[in-house]
């Protein structure tokens, strides 16, 4: 049986852990409001950019547009090309199943394309570490960016966007796929697996069916589209960073709240055990005293 000193030491350790988990929960709760505000601002802009690109693309004359550099971002390449993965994870742990679910989704995606050349862009330390450990795949870690959460900004999205464009336009890339956690609510995050490039399939379902022929464009529609496409891509990536950041904070806040509750229950159980141990010791001592007195009296 553990001594009272050992139990008290154990209780002290659990209380120290509880203080840490409670502090982490409060920090995440303080940051989540700002992260939510950022998402609410980024989502409408991102959606409108998608809609505008879709409207312009449907109005393009195929012959003229094919000569534009922007056409390469819409062109659906042969399935024999390489593929690219943009994996957005957290830099730290202690956020429940946030990273675990992302890494499982990434591994399933990599397994699906294991026969192809794979280029990877890792945002977040957890994803970077996984991709570096993988063996037996034709995988190249093309770019990595770590230690940006919880202070992700548009400048980081610009850098990632430039690398994605550089890779897609400079190599024979069939598709660029994004895997990240989308913030749904304080209790829910959703794994999103979607193609970032090429844009053709997204452009055909986006838009508002506005007839651009009713407007005059200066410069031309093609020039306007060429100028908008890099901004649209970076706006999408910025939204993804904000979504992942808010989802991570929400997951960490919930995980630390659960950890604090578990620590409290463990402290209560250890306190009860300590009291029972003390009671048993007192009972034993009293029995020995009574037995010794009876022996003397006899």
User: Hey, which residues are catalytic here?
Assistant: 95
- 191: tokens are 């794994």
The SS3 of residue 272 is helix
- 120: tokens are 């990877």
User: What distance in Å separates the CA atoms of residue 249 and residue 261, rounded to the nearest whole number?
Assistant: 18
Report helix angle 154-170 to 221-297, nearest 10: 120
115 Cβ contact partners less than 8 Å away, ≥ 6 residues apart: none
Question: Are the CB atoms for 117 and 140 separated by under 8 Å?
Answer: yes
44 Cβ contact partners less than 8 Å away, ≥ 6 residues apart: none
User: What distance in Å separates the CA atoms of residue 140 and residue 118, rounded to the nearest whole number?
Assistant: 6
Q: Report residue 256 CA to chain centroid gap.
A: 17
Where are the extended beta strands (E) located within 15-102?
82-88
């Amino acid at each position: 049986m553990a001594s009272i000193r050992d139990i008290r030491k154990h209780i002290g350790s659990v209380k120290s852990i509880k203080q840490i988990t409670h502090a982490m929960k409060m920090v995440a709760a303080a940051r989540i409001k700002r992260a939510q505000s950022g998402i609410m601002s980024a989502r409408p802009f991102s959606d409108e950019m998608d809609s505008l690109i879709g409207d312009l693309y449907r109005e393009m004359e195929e012959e003229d547009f094919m000569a534009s550099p922007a056409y390469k971002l819409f062109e659906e390449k042969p399935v024999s090309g390489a593929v690219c993965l943009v994996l957005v994870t957290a830099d730290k742990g202690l956020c429940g199943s946030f990273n675990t679910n992302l890494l499982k989704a990434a591994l399933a995606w990599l397994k699906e394309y294991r026969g192809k050349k794979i280029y990877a862009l890792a945002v977040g330390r957890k994803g970077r570490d996984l991709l570096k450990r993988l063996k037996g795949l034709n995988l190249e870690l093309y770019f990595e960016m770590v230690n940006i959460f919880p202070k992700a900004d548009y400048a980081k999205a610009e850098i990632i966007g430039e690398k994605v464009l550089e890779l897609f336009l400079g190599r024979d890339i069939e598709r660029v796929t994004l895997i990240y956690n989308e913030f749904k609510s304080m209790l829910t995050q959703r794994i999103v697996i979607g193609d970032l490039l090429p844009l053709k399939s997204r452009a055909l379902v986006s838009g508002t069916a506005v007839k651009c022929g009713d407007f005059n464009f200066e410069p031309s529609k093609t020039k306007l589209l060429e100028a908008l496409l890099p901004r649209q891509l970076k706006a999408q990536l910025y939204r993804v960073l904000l979504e992942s950041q808010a989802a991570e904070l929400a997951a960490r806040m919930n995980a630390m709240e659960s950890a604090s509750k578990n620590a409290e229950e463990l402290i209560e159980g250890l306190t009860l055990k300590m009291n029972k141990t003390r009671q048993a010791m007192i009972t034993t001592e009293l029995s020995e005293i009574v037995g010794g007195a009876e022996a003397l009296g006899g």
